[in-house]
Chain A
């Protein structure tokens, strides 16, 4: 059901042989480098590995442990949910607005598109340093500025209530230009003739955007929603480098927990169980988002 709703091509051709020939090369790559390892990792989530490397089958124990006994799982689960609920719509909205503003052919368009895209091209290690300095709670640029305009210094990443918001802000800064690109590409598929017809009917710009642009962007929109949701659930570099999950676990995303389990605690069972749960969360989220946005597309 869900799958069909995303890939709604108007299927007409039934040439099986041709279809498989077109798909075969990609499928070979996917099976070898993605699905194979994914299956291994999924099986791993039902195993326990001893320190010597011996594996034993333990059924759902890793999952039961997470749900029932793990002292940090539910906090991380909640943090991940909040993070995604806030970040996903915000980033898609900002990316869309930027794309709409920059869909013209004015002289400055090229400059701004490149400017918004640029943060994606900066190494994350450096992005972390930049924002660490800007948001330094005592001597940072942001606080110098806030003091100057009389707002007063903010604790930023030192506070349990602001740290996650800071991470969200940095994520938006870093990747909204990247997602803007997909919308820009999608906008090119909307025929100019529709706008001309609307102009003749006396529609203003806002009406044109709501009645023509947004509905006709629905395929791009579903792509961005699905891809961006997966991306946000699985990214943990900002947390790893900037806050290490703190203060007091307020930025301890599930993916970071999974990472620590895999490479610090050497507990692959727990790590892969978390990534399976993440996969499920991504699916549920995506379906939900597609439903919501599709409702808005009805016109």
Chain B
């Protein structure tokens, strides 16, 4: 008996010792070879853990996560989380609270706004990965050609939206008179995304959702929201300085990059992406604000979370710690140009970030960045608000559209009360 027990014990430890933990990771479909560099490094450092990474194309990402998590599945062990979706996954029990696995010291280097985004009901549900910021890109050649002085290119100095509108009117140019401008004044890169549009409201001091994140009645039709929405409506319908229907970030950049727009309100990644347009000479000015208001910039991006039902907590935590380390985030930045969500990573990237355009965005992240609203119903909030902005940009009455949006959003938010 003893011998058998001993034998079993040996076998047991042998299995424990040698069995590879298999970690399933659901990640976004950035180019495979690049994503795999980091994963391979982790594999090399942790030979007892094998990582199986699935790269899901962005257009299918959220529905794939929904299906994969259905039925409280224990896999994927680790998955990519869009910052504002933290509460949605947390409230449904899909994300593991990470407070006991990450010390305060370990969380210290991350941007406050990103940690705030990942916190719901006092618990931390994911580790910030990348973050983002937005500025006003402008085409120097077009400004030169029509004798308009450049917008300020120093951190913290910015135009007002009123000034931007005036410049945009002057730089919307239809040289051959065919009714289609050859140059548009201003492009909003993500034309209808609350990410880029809410700061207009916030610049006027407006709130975009109730403090508990469960109601929008009165918030979307506040004086500030309506003023911002009117300004937005005018860009496309009143002053006609912005082209309609650019519903894809890549297409917006194609317009700006090919000299079809004088200015573009765009996110940080354009700094790297615009390098593809060899003839383009552009400058970056800090995010505009409304006269009499305050400067507000969008921020936040992707996080990494651990499935609450995972059977491999320890390995998952190891992987997440590796992936969100100072070095890994710096390396990710060099691969993709995404802004690291932790401040100390920038120490490793000094050369890159000493460039003036990055200085402008870093200043914004320290001083003016405001996270998107924290609500378990962000998916619904974002979709409906996006459809509403889309309608307004096509000419719908802003007030009526926003009133409808309040009704629709609040109906969806009811289920979280």
Report the Cα distance A52→B376, complex, angstroms.
11
Question: Does B247 lie within 8 Å of A264, measured CB to CB?
Answer: no
Question: Does B415 lie within 8 Å of A50, measured CB to CB?
Answer: yes
Report the Cα distance A203→B355, complex, angstroms.
81
Q: When the two chains form the complex, which single residue of B88, B386, B394 contacts A247, counting CB atoms closer than 8 Å?
A: B394
Question: Does B394 lie within 8 Å of A265, measured CB to CB?
Answer: no
Q: Is the CB of A232 closer than 8 A to any CB of chain B?
A: no
**What residues of chain B lie closer than 8 Å to A266, measured between beta carbons?**
66, 88, 379-380
Report the Cα distance A240→B58, complex, angstroms.
13
Q: Is the CB of B408 closer than 8 A to any CB of chain A?
A: yes
**What residues of chain A lie closer than 8 Å to B247, measured between beta carbons?**
242-244
Q: Known A137-B244, A138-B180, A246-B394; judge A52-B387 contact (CB<8 A).
A: no
**What residues of chain B lie closer than 8 Å to A71, measured between beta carbons?**
404, 407-408
Question: Does B251 lie within 8 Å of A132, measured CB to CB?
Answer: yes
Q: Is the CB of A157 closer than 8 A to any CB of chain B?
A: yes
Question: Does A248 lie within 8 Å of B63, measured CB to CB?
Answer: no
**What residues of chain A lie closer than 8 Å to B386, measured between beta carbons?**
244
Question: Does A153 lie within 8 Å of B383, measured CB to CB?
Answer: no
Question: Does A244 lie within 8 Å of B180, measured CB to CB?
Answer: no
Q: Is the CB of A211 closer than 8 A to any CB of chain B?
A: no
Q: When the two chains form the complex, which single residue of A158, A249, A265 contacts B380, counting CB atoms closer than 8 Å?
A: A265
**What residues of chain A lie closer than 8 Å to B63, measured between beta carbons?**
262-263
Residues of B in contact with A, size category: 35 or more
**What residues of chain B lie closer than 8 Å to A242, measured between beta carbons?**
247
Question: Does B416 lie within 8 Å of A51, measured CB to CB?
Answer: yes
Question: Does B93 lie within 8 Å of A52, measured CB to CB?
Answer: yes
Count: A-B pairs, CB below 8 Å? 82
Question: Does A51 lie within 8 Å of B383, measured CB to CB?
Answer: no
**What residues of chain A lie closer than 8 Å to B395, measured between beta carbons?**
248
Q: Is the CB of A208 closer than 8 A to any CB of chain B?
A: no
Report the Cα distance A243→B245, complex, angstroms.
8
Question: Does A245 lie within 8 Å of B387, measured CB to CB?
Answer: yes
Instruction: For chain A, residues 227 to 268, give those with C-beta under 8 angstroms from any C-beta of chain B.
Output: 240-249, 260, 262-267
With both beta carbons as reference points, the residue of chain B lying nearest to A143 in the complex is identified as B180
**What residues of chain A lie closer than 8 Å to B387, measured between beta carbons?**
244-246
Distance from A198 Cβ to chain B, minimum over Cβ atoms (Å): 52
Q: Is the CB of B412 closer than 8 A to any CB of chain A?
A: yes
Distance from A227 Cβ to chain B, minimum over Cβ atoms (Å): 25
With both beta carbons as reference points, the residue of chain B lying nearest to A156 in the complex is identified as B245
Question: Does A147 lie within 8 Å of B178, measured CB to CB?
Answer: yes
Q: Is the CB of A53 closer than 8 A to any CB of chain B?
A: yes
Binding site secondary structure of chain B = helix
Report the Cα distance A249→B178, complex, angstroms.
29
Report the Cα distance A147→B390, complex, angstroms.
28
Residue-wise interface mask of B (264-275) relative to A, using a CB-CB cutoff of 8 A (1 in contact, 0 not)? 000000000000
Q: Known A125-B59, A244-B247, A264-B62; judge A158-B180 contact (CB<8 A).
A: no
Question: Does B391 lie within 8 Å of A138, measured CB to CB?
Answer: no
**What residues of chain B lie closer than 8 Å to A157, measured between beta carbons?**
245
Question: Does A265 lie within 8 Å of B59, measured CB to CB?
Answer: no
Question: Does A158 lie within 8 Å of B244, measured CB to CB?
Answer: yes
Question: Does B379 lie within 8 Å of A153, measured CB to CB?
Answer: no
Q: Is the CB of A160 closer than 8 A to any CB of chain B?
A: yes
Report the Cα distance A182→B180, complex, angstroms.
44
Instruction: For chain B, residues 371 to 417, give those with C-beta under 8 angstroms from any C-beta of chain A.
Output: 376, 379-380, 383, 386-387, 390-391, 394-396, 404, 407-408, 412, 415-416
Report the Cα distance A249→B384, complex, angstroms.
12
Question: Does B408 lie within 8 Å of A244, measured CB to CB?
Answer: no
Question: Does B380 lie within 8 Å of A138, measured CB to CB?
Answer: no
With both beta carbons as reference points, the residue of chain A lying nearest to B181 in the complex is identified as A138
Report the Cα distance A50→B395, complex, angstroms.
36
Q: Is the CB of A60 closer than 8 A to any CB of chain B?
A: no
Report the Cα distance A272→B292, complex, angstroms.
49
Instruction: For chain B, residues 57 to 79, give those with C-beta under 8 angstroms from any C-beta of chain A.
Output: 57, 59, 62-63, 66, 72
Q: Is the CB of B140 closer than 8 A to any CB of chain A?
A: no
Report the Cα distance A139→B181, complex, angstroms.
10
Q: Can you name 19 A-B pairs with beta carbons within 8 Å?
A: A50-B415, A125-B59, A132-B248, A138-B243, A152-B179, A153-B180, A158-B394, A160-B394, A243-B247, A244-B247, A245-B387, A246-B387, A246-B390, A247-B390, A260-B383, A263-B66, A264-B62, A264-B380, A265-B380
Contact surface of A with B, Cβ cutoff 8 Å: 50-53, 71, 125, 132, 136-139, 143, 147, 152-153, 157-158, 160, 240-249, 260, 262-267
